[in-house]
Chain A
Amino acid sequence: MISCNNVVKTFNKLEVLKGIDLDVAPGEVVVIIGPSGSGKSTFLRCMNCLEVADSGTITINGKIVESKESSLNKLRQDIGMVFQQFNLFPHRTVIGNIMEAPVLLKKVTKDQAKKKGMELLKKVGLEDKVDEFPNRLSGGQKQRVAIARALAMEPKIMLFDEPTSALDPELVGEVLAVMKQLAKEGMTMVVVTHEMGFAKEVADRVIFMDGGYIVEQGSPEEIFGQPKHERTKEFLGHLK
């Protein structure tokens, strides 16, 4: 479903990704962990071309990700992304946020988009917030709206970049619950997170990144149970 081959990315002389290979199967949930600055976000953002990789190839559903506008816009419709800072549109209501892209990009009427939006809001448990503006929502509610907004395009893949890192601890659970539900429904997901509990419970595979490389990967049992590399042990040790 996703296939990354020797992806390299440099920001002014600073080599952030030093050749990353990763294949994600349909329906697989991959969790990426690693210390700050190890390139997790950059890698995720290369997958939908928010950052353009310097070299290497990324293929999504058999289509090569390239920075050409027209093909890229089409490709991105299949890849939902959820950001740490939510990035809801503050000038649109909750339902307005969700309907925006489908109405513009899919051949659906406003009524159809609204109906679909209401279903999604029900799914994330926010059907009572339809006409609220984002500034009136808690962080957890904002993030659930952001997930619904991404799902409205009916993506085949969802990317999450530290979706719960900006939340108060008591609000983390509600967002993770929505993500678990998605995983259960068979969504292909790549999740960057520091929530090890989520990784243990939901991930099919855990990737440990450090210094621009994938240092180690395996099932949650392998990575958390018996990590092979010193760096992985050290990182996981720090978390305890």
Chain B
Amino acid sequence: MNDFLSFALTYLPYLLQGALVTVEIAVIGVIFGSILGLLVGLGRVSKNPLLSQLSRFFIWVIRGTPLLLQLFIIHFAIPSVFSALTMPPFVSACIALSINAAAYIAEIARGAIQSIDKGQMEAARSLGLSSSQSMRRVIVPQAFRRMLPPLGNEFIALIKESSLVSTIALYDLLRTGQQIISSTYRYMEVFFLVGLIYLLLTTVMSFIIGKIEKKVGAYE
């Protein structure tokens, strides 16, 4: 036991550094994923057939293929053809996670927009608001609040799925653990610690998300 504690204390700083990278890419993924996802979601419910078909196509492709493959395409395949698009692992990871999250968030956004009572749109239009003004000022703000719980889940999923970036030589939490193992061979202790930190991250995040939801959803 004592031995484990001193081992843990020695390597914890490295693992926490890896955890910071994990949190960073998950946060960036959820922020850009939300922005892009909301746009794609709006495209999906748009009356413009080109927009809605394009959005549908994007969602179909991204949700129908593995995140790991998307990561490899962005980090290896595209730069192999266009060398100008070679990026550091951190940037590739953020792009892949954002695009992947966007496809799932687009469906969340679509569901939330469609769940808003159609009387809201009618009231806005009857006052003379254009359809884009009604969307922006009336529908989207309400839909966004409804998106928060599933967005929270998406964020937590992202923390876990981000471990895939360890495959493109990005030192996130998982990859840092593997690196420690390669010099110490203490699989059990390291993976136990890695698991503990993931669990801590997801638990703290669900707690924070719960707090935010309570605050923002107060009017309903």
Chain A residues at the B interface, C-beta cutoff of 8 Å: 48, 50, 69, 73-74, 76-77, 79-81, 83, 85, 87-91, 100-101, 104-105, 133-135, 146, 149-150, 153
Contact = CB atoms under 8 A, between A and B. Distances in A.
Chain B interface helix/strand/loop/mixed: helix
Contacts of B138: 89, 100
Contacts of A101: 127-129
Contacts of B126: 48, 50, 76, 79-81, 150
A91 B127 contact: no
B82 interface: no
A74 to B, nearest CB: 7
Interface string B137-163: 110011001000000000000000000
B48 to A, nearest CB: 13
Interface string B99-136: 00000000000000000010110111111111101000
B127 A135 contact: no
A73 B122 contact: no
B25 to A, nearest CB: 32
A100 B128 contact: no
Interface residues of B, number: 21
B3 interface: no
Contacts of A87: 117, 119-120, 122-123
The 3 closest A-B pairs by CB, nearest first: A87-B123, A77-B128, A101-B127
Contacts of A105: 127-129
Contact of B220 (A77, A88, A135): A135
A76 B125 contact: yes
Most buried by B among A74, A80, A87, A150: A87
20 contacts: A50-B126, A69-B130, A73-B128, A73-B129, A79-B126, A81-B122, A87-B122, A87-B123, A89-B138, A90-B219, A91-B141, A101-B129, A104-B129, A104-B133, A105-B128, A134-B219, A135-B220, A149-B127, A150-B127, A153-B127
